[in-house]
Structure 1
Amino acid sequence: MYVDDNPASVADTPVTSAGHAATTLAERMVDVAALDAAVKSGDVILEPEAGERLLTTLRGQADSAAEWLNRLRGMSRPVPLGTNWVGQAMSGKFERRADGEDVSFVNVLYQYHQMLVKAHDAVAEAIARYQTSEEGSAQAFQRVSSKF
């Protein structure tokens, strides 16, 4: 896969549409990792109503990405462009672009799907932390108010 834990590898990406998409995706994956870290540290919590809207959007995008991923995997086969050497070379090139290169459509879309799933999980955790915080605050208030 193209995107890994080493951000320095982003600079080595060829300047193509797929390469640009992979670079942009790598940047967004860093953003999602930062969100996840902020949620885990307790710096970010989400009110359930707003969080649910965000979860719905992320779930819809992840479902769409999974659907496109299945379609793209079906395209990663040799294209019948003839038996001459040019047709064979172009057929292989199209197949590798669909799936097989580091910045192939399948690899980039797979990573996008994984990023959406991680973002969804981070948002769900932020909602749960909000609810836990609210319940704790309500219990503390009830203890204080019962003393009066």
Structure 2
Amino acid sequence: MGNSSLADANAFKAAAVAGQVGIDPDAAQTVLKKIRTGKDTVEALLAGAGALAEKPKLGDNPVGRAMAAKFEQRAEGGNDSYAAALRNLLSQYEAAEQGIVTAMAKYHEIDQAAADPFRHA
């Protein structure tokens, strides 16, 4: 599973922390609300993901047992599992949320720094 979206979210967060990005807090509220709603939804799905780890009943034969074990492993947290995908998505939401919050905080600092040369002229 690719993590380019996570890398992008982390890059945005790093740019905000470095003061390279500022976002008007009033304009960002809608985006922040949507990010938090998505994050809450993913957290709820992740909380229920363990229920998927029940071994399906595919027959009492070698193939059925092997397939059931494979499905169980994928559901419960292997690298290609539903839970792993949800954890990756949650990390993306968290990085985006932290980046937006930081960029909102930096907005006024950046605005003041841009205006300072004109005030002292």
| TM-score, with structure 1 as normaliser | 0.70
The residue number in structure 2 matching 1:95 is: 72
Give the gaps of 5 or more residues in structure 1: 1-21
Structure possessing the higher relative contact order (Cα contacts under 8 Å, 6 or more residues apart):
2
The residue number in structure 1 matching 2:12 is: 35
What percent of counterpart residues are identical?
A: 27
Is the 2:16–2:103 Cα contact (8 Å) retained in structure 1? yes
1:86 CA displacement: 1.8
1:132 CA displacement: 3.9
**Residue of structure 2 aligned with 1:107, choices 84, 91, 107:** 84
Question: What is the letter of the counterpart of residue 43 of structure 1?
Answer: Q
- Size of the aligned set, in residue pairs, is 118
The residue number in structure 2 matching 1:60 is: 37
Give me the CA root mean square deviation.
2.2
- Aligned-partner SS, 1:103: coil
Is the 2:32–2:100 Cα contact (8 Å) retained in structure 1? yes
Worse-superposed segment, 78-87 or 41-50:
78-87
**Residue of structure 1 aligned with 2:98, choices 121, 124, 146:** 121
| TM-score, with structure 2 as normaliser | 0.85
CA distance in 2, matches of 1:76, 1:46: 42
1:133 CA displacement: 4.2
1:109 CA displacement: 0.9
1:101 CA displacement: 2.0
Give the gaps of 5 or more residues in structure 2: none
Is the 2:35–2:93 Cα contact (8 Å) retained in structure 1? yes
